[in-house]
Amino acid sequence: MTGREVDVAIIGGGQAGLATAYHLRRAGIDFVILDGEAVPGGAWRHGWDSLRLFSPAAYSSLPGWPMPQGGDDYPSRDAVIDYLTRYEQRYALPVERPVQVQAVIYDVDRLRIETDKGPWRARGVVMATGTWRHPHVPHYPGQELFEGQQLHSAHYSGPERFAGQRLLVVGGGNSGAQLQAELSAVTHATWVTERPPVFLPDDVDGRVLFQRATARIKAFQEGREPDAPPGGLGDIVMVAPVKAARDRGDLGSIRPFARFTRTGVNWTDGTETDIDTIIWCTGFRPALDPVAGLDLIEPDGTIALDSTRCRRNPKLWFVGYGTWTGPGSATLIGVGRSARDTAAEIATILTGLPT
């Protein structure tokens, strides 16, 4: 079976895939979205119960349709899922799900997308698979000895089951801050960060992070170094629970431990602490398994790109993975920019006409 034919296959139906689809649709390109989830929402489906955006709705919109302003300053996980679900419906985007893409391989003048529901063939493929499937856990000496629990934030749902436990929350970004805030309210939680966390001022929310990303893009386009203040999308937004934890004195952090023991950790000063659970808020890596066989992935886990187009395979584009696919591109508002440019480039290549 040669497989179903399409101009462009978008692998991943989260926000990055949807934003790219919106612009491909406007360019009149024939495409399909192949998504591994049974329902819409991408990784937002797997966020913890109290997860909130760190940016207001007006700064969290995909192209074409502003995120509805709910009652809260910062939309909840469920509001984001609802928005992504309705976005798909609003634009009647052709999503095939659940479809697990196993591999992208060369197939004469096309790319062949091998899936658990049979093959597709496409003239171009947009990878929008996100990072949620690849939680990152750093290695510490003795980790295999530790008999307590280890959980990545990707699989955390809420604080209830940790009441009474001795916890370490490891990681100095927004996830680490929000989980430290939530867990320290119900049990003894120690926050471990490689360096002192960087907090945005109370009156500044996530939108300033996008303004920084925009300033960076503008600077690069003008061929100069960004003059935006240091820091980036990892700076911690003082959402209400994080502010409350600071006011309780629960937002202090200490530098990492030296090694694990059977029942806890050894600190660099030689002291030892018994712990029950470690929660790793240590980020993610791009979920690029489908292209692993094409020998494109660099030692740092990214792909060499010209903007979002793969330098070594011009039929492949990468959208929504963060800085290496465009400043702010791993965010709801930031992905629209690279999705628009990606769709415009694809349309020009496939139709031979500038869009």
Minimal distance in Å, beta carbon 179 to ligand FAD?
9
Q: Which two tokens stand for residue 246?
A: 């600071």
- Residues 188 and 164: beta-carbon distance below 8 Å: no
CA-nearest of 127, 154, 123 to 292 is: 127
Nearest-5° Cα angle at 40, 322 to 157: 75
Residues 268-327 binding ligand FAD (CB under 6 A) are 287, 289-290, 320
Cα–Cα separations (whole angstroms), residue 154 to 22, 158, 332? 28, 11, 18
Which CB sits closer to ligand FAD, 197 or 290?
290
According to the binding rule CB under 6 A, does residue 122 interact with ligand FAD? Answer: no
The torsion angles phi and psi of 80, rounded to 5 degrees, stand at -70, -45
Which CB sits closer to ligand FAD, 260 or 318?
318
Q: What is the DSSP letter of 237?
A: P
Q: Which of 10, 29, 128, 339 binds ligand FAD (CB under 6 A)?
A: 128
According to the binding rule CB under 6 A, does residue 61 interact with ligand FAD? Answer: no
According to the binding rule CB under 6 A, does residue 36 interact with ligand FAD? Answer: yes
Minimal distance in Å, beta carbon 228 to ligand FAD?
18
Residue 216-255 contact track with ligand FAD, rule CB under 6 A, x = bound? ----------------------------------------
Burial category of 224 from C-beta neighbours within 10 Å (exposed 0-12, middle 13-18, buried 19 and up): exposed
Q: Which of 25, 26, 121, 133 binds ligand FAD (CB under 6 A)?
A: 133
Rounded Cα–Cα distance for residues 242 and 177 (Å): 6
Q: Which of 8, 10, 12, 280 binds ligand FAD (CB under 6 A)?
A: 12
Rounded Cα–Cα distance for residues 9 and 141 (Å): 43
Binding footprint of ligand FAD on the chain (CB under 6 A): 11-17, 34-37, 42-44, 47, 51, 53-55, 60, 99-101, 128-130, 132-133, 175, 206, 287, 289-290, 320, 330-332
